[in-house]
Structure 1
Amino acid sequence: MKLTTLLAAIGMVGMASAPAHAADDCIARGDLDQIYCDMDGDLVADAPAADQLVDPDTLVFAYTPVEDPAVYADIWNPFLEHLEKVTGKEVHFFAVQSNSAEVEAMRSGRLHVAGFSTGPTPFAVNLAGAVPFALMGADDGRFGYTLQLYTRTDSGIDTVADLKGKRVAHTSPTSNSGNLAPRALLPGQGIVPEQDYEVVYSG
C-alpha cells in the first residue's frame, strides 16, 4: 500500500466527525447521512474543509467484532507499528463489541481507522463518513471469502434442501456472509430464509 494512500485514508476517516459542508449547503448527498456531502459523486463523504480538519494526537484502530479480540490485537500489531511509523502518532487498538458500536465510534470521532466486515461497510460509509481504501488479500493476489454452512454430522441435514422446517443460525443482521449472502443465494437453491426455515441470530 502506498504511503500517500494510507495517509489520505487516515485523514478522511479521521475527519468523519467533521462534515465537509453544512447540511443546507449540500446539493449532492446520495445515501450519505445529512452531515456528509458527496459533491464529487464518488459515493463516499467528501473531505472536510481545511478549517474543519482535526489532528488527533493518538489514532484509534479497531477491527470488526470477533470472539477473542485479544488475539486480533496481537495479529494487528505489525500494522499498528507501521501506522505509528508513517504517521508519527501513537496508535491504540480498540476492541469493539458489535458492528453498530464500531460504526458509532467512528461517527462520533472516537475511532479513526478501522477494518469493517463487508456487511457493515455501507453503514460505515453512509452513517460514519468512512472512506474504504484497502481490502485484505493473500500474497498471490486472491481476495474474498466464502459462505459456509455447518451442521452436526448426526443432524440429518446433508443438503441445502434439508434446511426446510429447521432453525438456522445466522450471525447478525448486518453480516454479509452470515446473513445477507444466505438471503440472496439460498432462494436460488430453493430455500428462502424465514419462509422455509426459522432464522435465529447467534451474534
Structure 2
Amino acid sequence: MHTPIHTLSFSRTLLSAAVAGTFALAAVTASADLSSRYVDNDGDMIADMPSDESQWVDPDTLVFAYTPVEDPAVYADVWADFLDHLSEATGKNVQFFPVQSNAAQQEALRAGRLHVAGFNTGGVPVAVNCGGFRPFAMMAAEDGSFGYEMEIITYPDSGIETVADLAGRQLAFTSETSNSGFRAPSALLMSEYGLAAGEDFETAFSGSHDNSILGVVNKDYDAAAIANSVAKRMLSRDVVSADDYNVIYTSETFPTTAYGLANNLNPELAQQIQDAFFSYDWEGSALEAEFANSGEAQFIPITYQENWSVIRTIADANGVTYDCD
C-alpha cells in the first residue's frame, strides 16, 4: 500500500514557484548566515576552528547525541558499539545524550554541552549557523548512494487520496527546523497546490518522524509529512506494518542526517573523531542491524557547502533566516 500516488521533483517545483514570484531564491553567501560568534575565513560555509588555542576545548568526556526519535533509549543501544569505538579512538569517555527534541539538541550544541552529533537534515543549517556545527559525514549504502525521500502519508480510508485532498484536513509536521517534516512539504503545498498551513489545512507538530507515523497509524492525525528512512526502520522493527498507512506523495532524494562536531574542539581531537567515523566496521554491528533496512552501510565524507545546497534553497523558499545572536 506504499505505492506513491504522486511524485514531483522539488527542483521543478522551486523553479516554477520562483518564476511565479512565490518566493525569492536569490543566492545567499554562507558567511552572512553565520552567527557573529563565528568566522568563515576559508569560505566553506561553516564556522572555522578558533585560531586562538586558549579557546580550544578538550573535554574528558565527549557527549554524543543522535537526532530526536520517539524512543531515545532504543538508539542508546544502537549507538553503544560505535561509541565504544569512538572512545577507543580518542581515549575519551563517551556519553550518549538522549535528546527529546530538535530544540533541545540545538541548545545543547550552542551552550557547549554537546561535542559530537547527528542532526536531522533541516536542522543542519540551524546547527551550522547558530551552533558552530561542522558536519563531515553521512550514512550511505555500500555503493556510496545516500539520502531519503519526504513522503506524505495518511491512514487507509481517511478519504485523502491526493495531496489536494489535504484541504480542510489536518497535516502533522515534526518540527519547524525539519526539512522533510516541515520545510519541504510547506514549500510544496504552497507553491504547487496553493495550500497554506493554518489557513487551508490544520497543522500539528509531533516532535519526531516516529511520532508522526504512529499518529497517522493511530488516526490521531489525518496525514503527516515524514522521512521515509524512518518509516523503513520502523517497518523493519515491526513497530508498524505496511498496511497501516498509504503514501500519497514522494519527493526527490534529500541528504540524510549529518554527523559532525563542535567547532571549538582541539583540532587533534577533532581529527580523531572524524577518523573514528570512517574507520568504524559496520559488519555485525547494531548500527548495521538498525540502518541496513533504510539502505545505509557506511559513513562517507560530505561538505555542507555542496551536499546541503538543495536544503538551503528550500529554507530560502520558506523565508528562513538565522537570527542567532
TM-score calculated relative to the size of structure 1: 0.81
Report if aligned partners of 1:160, 1:189 keep a CA contact under 8 Å in 2.
no
Q: State the match for 1:63 in structure 2.
A: 66
Q: State the match for 1:198 in structure 2.
A: 202
One-letter code of the match for 1:198?
A: E
Residue of 113, 117, 125 corresponding to 2:116: 113
Residue of 117, 121, 130 corresponding to 2:133: 130
Number of equivalenced pairs = 176
Note the C-alpha offset of 1:175.
Answer: 1.0
- CA–CA separation in structure 1 for the residues paired with 2:46 and 2:83: 25
Report if aligned partners of 1:168, 1:198 keep a CA contact under 8 Å in 2.
yes
Note the C-alpha offset of 1:162.
Answer: 0.9
Residue of 20, 30, 39 corresponding to 2:32: 30
Q: Secondary structure at the match of 1:132?
A: strand
Gaps of 5+ in 1: 1-27
Q: Secondary structure at the match of 2:74?
A: helix
- CA–CA separation in structure 1 for the residues paired with 2:123 and 2:177: 6
Q: Secondary structure at the match of 2:172?
A: strand
Report if aligned partners of 1:30, 1:43 keep a CA contact under 8 Å in 2.
no
Gaps of 5+ in 2: 1-29, 208-325
Structure 2 counterparts to residues 21-170 of structure 1, below 5 A: 29-48=31-50, 49-170=52-173
**Structure holding more helix per residue:** 2
- CA–CA separation in structure 1 for the residues paired with 2:35 and 2:131: 8
Q: What is the CA RMSD across the aligned residues, in angstroms?
A: 1.6
**Structure holding more strand per residue:** 2
Q: State the match for 1:6 in structure 2.
A: none
- CA–CA separation in structure 2 for the residues paired with 1:190 and 1:119: 22
**Taking every aligned residue pair, what percent have the same amino acid on both sides?**
60
Higher relative contact order (CA 8 A, sep 6+): 2
- CA–CA separation in structure 1 for the residues paired with 2:68 and 2:53: 33
- CA–CA separation in structure 2 for the residues paired with 1:93 and 1:62: 6
